[in-house]
Chain A
Amino acid sequence: MNTKKLGAGLAAVALVAGLAACSSGGTDTPGATTGQKLTMLIGSSGDAETSAVQAAADEWAKSSGNTVEVVAASDLTQQLSQGFAGGTPPDIFYMGWDQFGTYAQNKYLDPYAKDLSNAGDFYKSLKDTFTYKDTFTCAPKDFSTLGLIINTDMWKAAGLTDADIPTDWAGLESVAKKLTTDKVAGLSFGLEYARVGVFMSQAGGSLVSADGKTVTADTPENLAGLKEVQKLHDDGVLKFPSEINSGWSGEALGKGAAAMVIEGPWIKGIKGDFPDTHYQAVELPAGPGGQATFTFTNCWGIPTGAKTSAAAVDLVKFLTSDAQQLKFADAFGVIPSTESAAKEYATKYPENASFVKSNDYAVSPVNFAGSATVITDFNAQLATLIGGNAKAILASLQTTLQAALDEANSK
């Protein structure tokens, strides 16, 4: 009697474990493009994005006889890596530019994009971002570039006109000075590679040589870029978001703590919290090395060796078509990744035309395998930029990035 009870208890534990083991398996038919159940993991900017992606997926699912469940991740990187390590990666997912190299190197990604029928339609810079060892791996989903976002009311109040829109660093310094008051910082952006890096590029700098073998971080050009940031801050016209009590510079713009910020098209997200802030996006000013900005992009990742990959590729084709990309643009403001759709987008949304235009000369931030940890370290070191030694920061970046590059190239 007593033994039975105990035995039953043990059996229950074993049963729970067993059941769970079974349920995580699956009954997919390999290679089929119909009758599949797909899970899509996205890093959503909000409800608008989630529901638009779900609607598009449903449309494809209906016409192709599949089902798609769209899951919005709270922390995309973490959920993706746990999914892969747990043996249950999503069938299709957003793959950020910064993690792409690491994922491609570890063979997590199915290099399906080279065979896509619309592979030639994407911007070259975007295709380069998602090319690993000369193989175009996954299809760019959309892109964003950085621009100068100006609070138009403050602009007018300071007596500035369209003619004053800065085209070089001197112009930027001068308008920032005019816009700065006791309560308002003339310019604000986050103290991180993804913002500071554009100054380095504008000064003519880069991080990796054209042949992809040598790191070129510790150069006079990059130093000039960092020095410009230091100068703006020393002049009191640049404040970082944390200095004006904001989580990011868009928040600072929204609540009127900053008159200009360097952000991307996602700036429209502040509409909800700060509906009364009027702003305008223009291209970033040129530095001594010419015009430069960063382009950020995601691709549609498909896990390697998945039974659902044929269906997932079909879904990507549908999602990256010009018509569907323009629908996404309408719903949550992303810029299409194909040149033709982007041009159409620029006409339809003139307020964002500057972001599209600047993609012609934009560069992708460094993203080879293993560079992400180095960039995290660089960001940490940038925290000491103000009042610190810019040259030492670059020297340290040079060493660590070169080590990471050598390791990446050796694999």
Chain B
Amino acid sequence: MAKGIRGGEAGRGWLFISPALVIIGLFLVLPILLAVWVSFSDWNGLGSPLSGNTSFVGTKNYEKLLVDPGLSQRDFGTSIRNNFYYVILVVPLQTALALFLAVQVNRRILKARGFFRTAFYFPSVTSSIAITGIFIFLFSASGAINALLGWLGINGPNWLADPRGIFHNFVELFGVHSAPTALAAGGPLGISWWEWLAGPSVAMCMLIVLAIFTTSGTFMLIFLAGLQSIGAEIDEAALMDGTGPFRKFFSITLPMLKPTLFTVITLGLIGTWQLFDQVYLTGGGAPGKTLLTPAYLSYETSFKGLNWGQGAAMAFLLFLLIVALTLLQRYILRDRHKGEKLDKEMQRQIALHASVTKGGTS
């Protein structure tokens, strides 16, 4: 009897999964293989990269980005620097804000919880194009943000046209206007240490605020789920100890939220290294290339500079970077939590988030 029920399952199984396999194979696996070939070739965008006109050039494209001094290397280095500052500021801030919001809207005594959750989550569902457009308006020279700053007596910058690094601006207050000799040269990827230490440009600050604004809602929901799954335990523990709210949060809630925290940080890291749409909309890296990111640079190098091999190579370097960071995160996570349940929970959350952001490419 059992055999009757199981009958034909193998065939049906393959049949059910084949459309998905065909599409994923055609538009994910094969493209990657094709791009691997392009990244080792001198294809100039004319005709097919598989035709006879294209030849193998070894690791030349990768060398140009990583070791050969020159504009390609410097541009790549600049884009890495820009994106690094973006990541290093966005990830902690959005995580902290999301956690803070989640704790606030999770409180039982709070009235209108639904309203607040909706308000905080809404920016996450809008398209990156619409919301970036809105921010360009808010941050224009005579826009809302500068009008607000004006009330406080601050003369706001012309955000999107200001390439000055904020760390440079800061040391300028102490009379340091140009690179000290120790920092004037020598940094990795053809960028001087002084340039590496410039900090995000004023323009990049707008994109940082934008990212925190749009993603904190999504992560708030993930934290909410985490909080609710540990809710009862916390209350009991806190009741027995008679601890105050702040101590309760830092000594009980936060340690129990660690798995969720790690999930959020991992997702944040993966997402922030993919900054593209916002750069496209704000003029492709302007001002002064301080908004250039690896994702955008790879697109521009290929589609506008016709240097397809180098563009593809850059995409793979970005991929490696993201994989390395993810593995690092997973390693840290695995070290501390071995529970099967947590692992599943995290996978579920990754799937959920991936499907939210995959479409939006944030």
Chain B, interface size category, equals 20 to 34
Measured CB to CB, the closest approach of chain A to B307, in angstroms, equals 8
Residues of B within 8 A of A85 (CB): 45-46, 303, 308
* Chain A, 345-400, CB within 8 A of any chain B CB: 372-374, 376-377, 380-381, 383-384, 387, 389, 400
Across-interface contacts of A3 in B (CB, < 8 A): 15
Q: Across the interface, do A102 and B71 meet the contact criterion of CB distance under 8 Å?
A: no
How far is B48's CA from A84's CA once the two chains are assembled, in angstroms? 10
Question: Is A87 at the interface (CB under 8 A from chain B)?
Answer: yes
B45 pairs with A81, CB closer than 8 A: yes
Q: Which residue of A lies closest to B308 (CB)?
A: A85
Distance to closest chain A CB from B170 (angstroms): 16
A242 contacts chain B at the CB level, 8 A cutoff? yes
Evaluate whether A377 and B289 lie within 8 angstroms (CB atoms) in the complex, with A6-B15, A78-B304, A82-B303 already known: yes
Query: B residues within 8 A CB of A381?
Result: 288
B interface footprint on A235-255 (CB within 8 Å = 1, 0 otherwise):
000000011010000000000
Can you name the residue of chain B whose Cβ is closest to the Cβ of A404? B71
* Distance between Cα atoms of A9 and B286 in the complex (Å): 46
- Pair A106/B142 contact, Cβ less than 8 Å: no
B288 contacts A10, CB within 8 Å? no
* Residue among B163, B286, B303, B304 making CB contact with A384, cutoff 8 Å: B163
Write the nearest CB–CB distance from A264 to chain B, whole angstroms. 21
CA distance A380 to B291 in the complex (A): 11
Q: Is the CB of A77 within 8 A of B71?
A: no
- Could you tell me the distance between the alpha carbons of A191 and B74 in the complex, rounded to whole angstroms? 22
Interface of B is mostly: loop
Known: A245-B141, A383-B287. A374 touches B71 (CB 8 A): yes
Residues of A contacting B177 in the complex (Cβ-Cβ under 8 angstroms):
387
- Count A-side interface residues using an 8 Å CB cutoff: 34
**Distance to closest chain B CB from A383 (angstroms):** 4
Asked if residues A78 and B288 are in contact (CB atoms below 8 Å), the reply is no
Bits for B1-33, please: 1 = Cβ < 8 Å to A, else 0: 000000000000001101100110000000000
Q: Is B138 an interface residue (CB 8 A)?
A: no
Q: Which residue of B lies closest to A2 (CB)?
A: B12
Shortest CB distance B299–A (Å): 9
Contact with A along B142-160 (1 / 0, CB 8 A): 1000000000000000100
Which A residues touch B286, using CB under 8 A?
380
Contact of A84 among B15, B46, B75, B289 (CB under 8 A): B46
Q: Is A56 an interface residue (CB 8 A)?
A: no
B46/A243 in contact, CB under 8 A:
no
Taking the closest CB of chain A, its distance from the CB of B206, in whole angstroms, is 14
Are A377 and B178 interface neighbours, CB within 8 A?
no
Residue numbers in B under 8 Å from A403 (CB-CB): 70-71
CB pair B45 A84 closer than 8 Å: yes
Contact B161 A10 (CB under 8 A): no
Let me know if A13 is at the binding interface, CB within 8 A.
yes
Kindly state whether residue A278 has any CB partner on chain B within 8 Å.
no
**Complex formed: what's the CA distance from A9 to B18 in Å?**
11
A90-130 vs B: 1/0 string, CB under 8 Å?
00000000000011001110000000000000000000000
Report whether B19 and A87 are in contact in the complex, using a CB–CB cutoff of 8 Å: no
A42 to chain B, nearest CB (A): 18
Contact of A383 among B140, B163, B303 (CB under 8 A): B163
A383 cross-chain contacts in B, Cβ below 8 A = 163, 287-288
A349 to chain B, nearest CB (A): 33
B304/A77 in contact, CB under 8 A:
yes
Contact of A106 among B45, B74, B178 (CB under 8 A): B45
Q: Are B304 and A10 in contact (CB under 8 A)?
A: no
Tell me, in angstroms, the Cα distance from A87 to B305 when the chains sit together.
Answer: 17
A148-181, CB < 8 A from B: none
Interface string of B296-315 (1 = CB under 8 A from A): 00000001111010000000
Question: Judging by beta carbons under 8 Å apart, are A380 and B304 in contact?
Answer: no
Q: Are B305 and A372 in contact (CB under 8 A)?
A: yes
Contact B306–A106 (Cβ < 8 Å)? yes
Q: B: which residues have CB within 8 A of A?
A: 15-16, 18-19, 22-23, 44-48, 70-71, 74-75, 140-142, 158, 161, 163, 177-178, 285-289, 303-306, 308
Q: Which residues of A contact B (CB under 8 A)?
A: 3, 6, 9-10, 13, 77-78, 81-82, 84-85, 87, 102-103, 106-108, 242-243, 245, 372-374, 376-377, 380-381, 383-384, 387, 389, 400, 403-404
Besides A13-B22, A81-B303, A103-B306, 7 new A-B residue pairs in contact (Cβ under 8 A), listed by A number? A242-B161, A245-B142, A373-B71, A377-B71, A377-B289, A380-B286, A400-B71
